[in-house]
Amino acid sequence: MGISSRDAAGFRTSASMTPEVVQGLTALVGESYLLTDVAERALHAYDATIHRFLPDAVVRPANLQQVAAVLRLCQQARVTVVPRGSATGLSGGALPVRGGLVLDLTRINRIPEINVNDLYAVVQAGVTVENFSRAVAEHGLFFPPDPSAARASTIGGGVAENAGGPHAFKYGVFRDYTLGLTAVKMDGTIVHTGGKTVKNVSGYDLTRLLVGSEGTLAVIVEATLRLIAQPKARRTMLMVYDRLDDAAETVSQVIAAGMQPAALEFIDDASIRVVEQFLHLGLPLDAQALLLIEVDGSEGEVSEQTERVQRLCRQHGARSVTVAGSEAEAAQLWKARKSIASAVARIKPSKVAEDATVPRSQIPTMVRRLKEIARTYQVDLVIFGHAGDGNLHPNIMCDERDPHEMERVWQAVAEIFAVTLELGGTLTGEHGVGTMKAPFMAWEHGEEGLAVMRAIKSAWDPDHLLNPGKIFPETAPPWPVALDPWERRIAGKEP
Ligand SMILES: Cc1cc2nc3c(=O)[nH]c(=O)nc-3n(C[C@H](O)[C@H](O)[C@H](O)COP(=O)(O)OP(=O)(O)OC[C@H]3O[C@@H](n4cnc5c(N)ncnc54)[C@H](O)[C@@H]3O)c2cc1C
């Protein structure tokens, strides 16, 4: 294998991946599980963002001990390591931006324990979220976090990103279900955090620190996850709105009324059009927005909530309400929402997916501001997402081969972040910072907040070899357009 500081394709590569390191890694995991061929490396150069960086090699360890040995060797040789689940991440977290070694966790994929008495399961990092949810459902149990890519995305990726999904509104995100972790530091030290109890205040909460740490502090190999009982009944409803503002206002009113649907999803007119073009579901093309609302609980609770939600939606301008009468009808209603990502991919060759999150009362303003941004920067924007959490997914459809269009796209994204923060929100509700939001972190956390985060990073990984180029602005790839106008605005020096 020819290893250079820059690959033929122009990707950045790590200078420390010497033939000795390759030999050492091969000895640890076996020849079949150390991938050095350029085609295999190219298959690990991607995640679900539009960027790609070629790693120098990919390792696929089989167990905790191999992960620890691989990390120890890389620490000694000063090779950067990027943990990777299924690479469905939308913020560039699994991209090897400095080359080095991609550590693929998908072979570590067993579920050693499902405990129906104490309501927890022990699950390894490479199990997909869908397989895990199915396995616990066979015992009548429920693991609520359900990122829309659950069929592929892994438990390790979910913990590392603190992923959510449509049901986070009522049930919370990965953090709310993670009781304990087995993780490996960059120097190969194995750390067990938390435990199997629902209460645990022994020392610093390292479990919560690792959840959402995006593979920058340690590699997660196993998680102990809390489970709950399956709700007895659920009902799905689709509300059609003639006015976007009415739909957005309904979201605020549902929250203000203290209702807690299991899911409250928003779909704008542009999303309706792209899904309808793709699937011909009979969606109303003249509508400005849809709300997809699911309620669950006992039969009595579900009937009562269905009535209340319908009444409130009609009071706030819903022109029609469809209530699914069966599981099959519910799946059909969900299809519109779940197909947006694939439908968007058919319109233009590239997309930039964001997850700006605002306080829920700001949803109507945020939707209006996003529409203005689309007009100002002339970008093709669809808006959908977990409105119940204030977590919208503005997706910009674009063509990355068109530099003029991309300049407007990157400006629009910077504007989205600025507006989100102005409304009291956060850069990311569930997709993580990765490389895509790193340049903006000081806008949200200030230099003081970032300094504390850097100190935590250094305590776990003093040489900054684990997943470099993520979270911290100075190590991330440069943002493709100048940010000065927004920096001045954020600093309060310009209107
Ligand atoms: C169509 C689509 C829909 C999506 N919907 C949602 C959604 O509804 N909600 C949501 O939250 N997200 C969603 N996502 C984003 C993505 O699916 C989640 O972030 C998911 O949790 C990533 O899991 P993964 O296994 O693919 O991780 P990767 O993409 O492989 O990695 C993501 C990050 O986690 C780190 N990582 C992965 N495994 C480990 C490990 N074992 N130890 C330490 N670090 C690790 C990586 O270094 C990287 O920083 C969606 C993505 C797509 C493409």
- Interval between CA 100 and ligand 1 midpoint (Å): 20
- Interval between CA 303 and ligand 1 midpoint (Å): 35
- Interval between CA 105 and ligand 1 midpoint (Å): 12
pLDDT interval class at 15 (50, 70, 90): low
- Interval between CA 162 and ligand 1 midpoint (Å): 9
Which of ligand 1's atoms lies nearest the C-alpha of 174? 11
Torsion of CA 379, 382, 385, 389, to 10 degrees: 50
Burial tier of 94 (Cβ tally within 10 Å: 0-12, 13-18, 19+): buried
Q: Is residue 207 over pLDDT 50?
A: yes
Sorted by where each starts, the structural domains of the chain and their CATH numbers stand as: 19-104 (3.30.43.10), 113-229 (3.30.465.10), 234-422 (3.40.462.10), 438-490 (no CATH)
290 membership: H or E segment, kind and range? strand 289-297
- Considering Cα of 145, then 151, then 156, then 161, what sign does the dihedral take? negative
- Interval between CA 91 and ligand 1 midpoint (Å): 9
Between these two residues, 12 and 331, which has the higher pLDDT value? 331
261, 254 contact by CB (below 8 A): yes
Give the integer Cα–Cα distance in Å for 3 and 37.
11
Mean pLDDT of the chain: 94
pLDDT at 9: 43
Q: Is residue 342 over pLDDT 90?
A: no
pLDDT at 12: 54
pLDDT at 13: 53
Share of the chain above pLDDT 90, in %: 91
Residue 147 has, within 13 A of its CA and on its CB side, a CA count of 31
Cβ neighbours of residue 198 closer than 8 Å, sequence gap 6 or more: 179, 226
Identify the three-state secondary structure at position 240.
Answer: strand
pLDDT interval class at 491 (50, 70, 90): confident
Q: Is residue 8 over pLDDT 80?
A: no
Give the integer Cα–Cα distance in Å for 248 and 361.
9
One DSSP character per residue, 34-99 reads EE-SHHHHHTTSB-SSS-B---SEEE---SHHHHHHHHHHHHHHT--EEEESSS--SSSTT--TT-
pLDDT interval class at 460 (50, 70, 90): very high
Token pair 């549902």 in the structure block, residue: 254
Q: Is residue 104 over pLDDT 50?
A: yes
Which protein residue has the closest C-alpha to ligand 1 atom 13?
Answer: 147
pLDDT at 62: 98
pLDDT at 345: 86
Q: Is residue 386 over pLDDT 60?
A: yes
Q: Which of 223, 227, 332 is nearest to 280 (CA)?
A: 332
- Interval between CA 460 and ligand 1 midpoint (Å): 22
Ligand 1, pocket-test mutation among 88, 107, 335, most atoms within 8 A of CB: 88
Cβ neighbours of residue 257 closer than 8 Å, sequence gap 6 or more: 308, 312
Which of ligand 1's atoms lies nearest the C-alpha of 105? 41
- Interval between CA 205 and ligand 1 midpoint (Å): 22
Which protein residue has the closest C-alpha to ligand 1 atom 44?
Answer: 215
Residue 368's region, left for phi above 0, alpha for psi from -120 to 50, else beta, is: alpha
The pTM (predicted TM-score) of the whole model is: 0.95
Which of ligand 1's atoms lies nearest the C-alpha of 126? 41
Give the integer Cα–Cα distance in Å for 244 and 491.
32
pLDDT at 5: 47
Which of ligand 1's atoms lies nearest the C-alpha of 148? 5
- Interval between CA 104 and ligand 1 midpoint (Å): 13
- Interval between CA 153 and ligand 1 midpoint (Å): 6
- Interval between CA 380 and ligand 1 midpoint (Å): 25
One DSSP character per residue, 276-287 reads HHHH-----TT-
One DSSP character per residue, 382-435 reads EEEEEGGGTEEEEEEEE-TT-HHHHHHHHHHHHHHHHHHHHTT-BSBSSS--TT
pLDDT at 11: 45
Which of ligand 1's atoms lies nearest the C-alpha of 89? 29
Which of ligand 1's atoms lies nearest the C-alpha of 183? 42
Q: Which of 80, 220, 78 is nearest to 162 (CA)?
A: 220
**Residues 370-388, mean pLDDT to the nearest whole number:** 96
One DSSP character per residue, 339-364 reads THHHHHHHHSSEEEE-B-B--GGGHH
247, 290 contact by CB (below 8 A): yes
Q: Is residue 56 over pLDDT 70?
A: yes
Q: Residues 150-175: pLDDT tens digits?
A: 999 999 999 999 999 999 999 999 99
Residue 355 has, within 13 A of its CA and on its CB side, a CA count of 21
Give the binding-site residues of ligand 1, using a 6 Å CB cut-off: 47-48, 82-90, 93-94, 105, 125, 147-149, 153-154, 156-158, 160-161, 163-165, 214-215, 219-220, 341, 430-431, 467
Give the type of residue at 232.
K
Q: Is residue 4 over pLDDT 70?
A: no
16, 100 contact by CB (below 8 A): yes
Identify the three-state secondary structure at position 226.
Answer: strand
Which protein residue has the closest C-alpha to ligand 1 atom 18?
Answer: 89
pLDDT interval class at 255 (50, 70, 90): confident
